[in-house]
Structure 1
Amino acid sequence: MRANDPSERAAKRREAVLKHLLDGEESERSVSVDSVAGALEIRRSRAALLLAELATVGWVCPRGETWRLTDDGRKVALEIVRRHRLLETWMARETGRPAEDWHRAARSAGARWDHGETNQLADRLGNPRFDPHGDPIPTREGDLRGAPRVSMAEWPEGLEAVIGHLEDEPETIYREMVRAGLHPGMGIRGLQRVADGSMEFTGEGRRIQIPATWLTMIHLEKSEPLLDPAVRRLSDRPIGSVSIVRELSPACVGAERSRLLDLGLVPGTEIRCEFASPFGTPRSYWIRGTMIGLRREQAERVLVLPQEGGAE
């Protein structure tokens, strides 16, 4: 089957609808024709047709203005979601692809995987419980358990938190969230609502504003222990500054994480930012007696504590 085969595109859309319905069950959110159209970024008429097709095979059924999975449909949806989240986990750990590409690549590759291959991948990965977005991965028995979610829209202002999960659909918004530097495991301080309905917070030393349309797509968890307000990203430290590595960002996984650890970027390591190229990146850092160049996207993955004695 060709990658652009219309039948394959239709199959992917049907799978996306089933996944959206299961996501609705997870978050206790009603699923409608409009929500399907929004999640898949398609016309309302097309969303209605997809739901009707799935109802014909007995996988979904209407309930007033909303739709839900049947028992058979839930089994199919769980297998789709299990495969998709395992593939995203594999991509995060082993391919080095950027986070904004995981969802689309997993959806494309997943259409060619069967049940046995999915279980083999799970065994290879050590049967992980959660994917890189913080979503629970269904077990091979079909068990799907995740902690109750609280969106940023519902979170009390001023209460410290950690991002536990980012919704990856609609995909365009997910990509924007990744570009804004958001990721599961990111600590949040000073959360406050702005007059236009957006919210602001400090994360990894940066003040970030979140549009109102993103708030229900970001889920937060309590931060224990409390966050250290001094933590910064290495990429934000000025030339001549001295820092101590606190940790690598939770968003740094797989080959990228191994590479930075091999360079000596472990907790407690002192780093001095020496100079930058004429284009600003890469920058040269003095690390464990060696001058090492890091691209900006690499330095963003290193969380540090500023030290006295360097330029600020």
Structure 2
Amino acid sequence: MINPFFALLIGLTILGLIVLIFLYGKPFLNRLARSKALSERIWIEDALKHLYDRNSYNATASIDSVSGSLNISRNHAAQLLAKLERLKLIQTQKQNFQLTAAGTAYALRIIRIHRLWELYFANKTGFKEPEWHSRAEEVEHFTSTEEADILASQMGNPTFDPHGAPIPTTEGELPPKAGISLADLEMETMARITNIEDEPDSVFTALVQAGLHPGMQIQIIERTPETVVLSANKQHIPIAPIAAANITVIPHSPDEECQEFENKLTDLNIGERGVVVHLSQACRGLQRKRLMDLGLIPGTEVEAAMRSAGGNPVAYNVRGALIALRSEQADYIHVRKVEINNGTR
């Protein structure tokens, strides 16, 4: 059992680290990293994460892949890999670098810390989704195993990060992989997104901007060498084939009930009513808390009451109070329309 005083001390340390990062950002972290030993450890940990990712997907891990992922020279990458080999964290197999058991355990520890911080930034701060990954990368190397355990405990020991990726346990255990790549999904087969890879940043940002998120129901309606067109939320969303490979989905069995409800709050015309079914998984943190505090929780009846002159925002009657929501907020709220005939339901 964790000593309460120790837990408080760790919590204050984490809070202090967050405050310093918010106030001073990367300059503060750069000052911390001036120590050569610390800088070298950061390179090692970043390389181990990259190698774990490549090994997990049976992709070749090479000097070039490390150089490209870490944005360092081939010479630096070669020296880094040589050091990892001396530390018995990796071994070479036919020009492919594989993590040893010790290397895998080390990589999973860093991945656990990274994904816990991503979830923290998603649920406890106002940072936008594209920032969660980079913010987590800034603090993961300065977080101890004990601090990570405290952070996990404060969040209820979560098992998945905000992108749907599993969070390793303290012992480095992961659930078995489920789902397939979107690139392998058959045409017009309904599927649910379970994970969106957050690297490379450019691909992840493009997928977020397209409105894709874990929990979303999608199907492929068109596939060409240049594009993959998805049907989701009554929209057609084109993405690049290379981006489709970064999305993991679970196809629906024919008798499985679809969880993506047909209507959003924005689908209600003035005078129409709906009952809140759920909030989108894309709505997180302070945004989600605000909507729930306004009474927009499952079972609440909502009426579209008034539209502004410009059409946005729209005032909704929620439990006798008028609440103005912009379309990007109302899109998070899934409802079941309530049919009204002659003044009665």
Q: Do the two structures share a fold, i.e. TM-score over 0.5?
A: yes
Letter in 1 for 2:128: P
Superposed displacement of residue 9, structure 1? 6.3
**The one of 259, 265, 285 aligned to 2:290:** 259
User: Is residue 145 of structure 1 aligned with residue 175 of structure 2?
Assistant: yes
> Structure 2 matches for 1:8-157, cutoff 5 A?
11-40=41-70, 47-157=77-187
Say if 1:2 and 1:172 are closer, same or farther in 2 by CA, change over 3 A: same
1:167 to 197, 201, 207: 197
Report deviation, 1:107: 1.1
Give the distance between the partners of 1:21 and 1:271, measured in 2 at CA: 50
**Structure 1 residue ranges without an equivalent (≥5):** none
2:12 aligns with none
For residues 232 and 199 of structure 1, do their structure 2 counterparts lie closer, same or farther at Cα, with a shift above 3 Å needed? farther
Call closer, same or farther: CA 1:300–1:229 in 2, change over 3 Å.
closer
Question: Could you tell me which residue of structure 2 aligns to residue 202 of structure 1?
Answer: 231
| Matching residue of 1:227 | 258
- Whole-angstrom distance in 2 between the partners of 1:37 and 1:180: 30
Contact 1:39 1:169 in 2 (8 A): no
2: CA distance between counterparts of 1:252 and 1:229?
14
> Deviation per CA, 1:95-118, whole angstroms, max 9, x where unpaired?
232221111111112222111111
Cα distance in 1 between the residues matched to 2:314 and 2:120: 30
In structure 2, the residue matched to 1:3 is 29
State the Cα deviation string for residues 25-46 of structure 1 (Å, max 9, x = none).
Answer: 3334333344444544566565
What is the aligned partner in structure 2 of residue 300 from structure 1?
331
| Aligned counterparts of 1:34 and 1:237: Cα–Cα separation in 2 | 53
Q: CA separation in 1, counterparts of 2:338 and 2:156?
A: 39
Query: RMSD of the alignment, in Å?
Result: 2.9
Partner residue of 1:215 out of 244, 252, 256 = 244
Q: 1:47 to 1:206 in 2, by over 3 A?
A: farther
Cα deviation digits, residues 208-261 of structure 1 (max 9, x gap): 112112011000013363326761333465666544423111222333323212
Q: Which runs of 5+ in 2 are unaligned?
A: 1-26, 341-345
Letter in 1 for 2:233: E
Q: Which amino acid aligns with 1:68?
A: Q
What number of residue pairs does the alignment pair up?
309
Contact kept in structure 2, 1:234 and 1:302, CA below 8 Å: yes
Paired residue secondary structure (2:29) = coil
Normalising by structure 1, report the TM-score: 0.85
Alpha-carbon shift at residue 280 of structure 1 (Å): 5.5
- Cα distance change, pair 90–177 in 1 and its aligned pair in 2 (3 A): same
CA distance in 1, matches of 2:91, 2:328: 46
- Three-state SS of the structure 2 residue aligned to 1:184 is coil
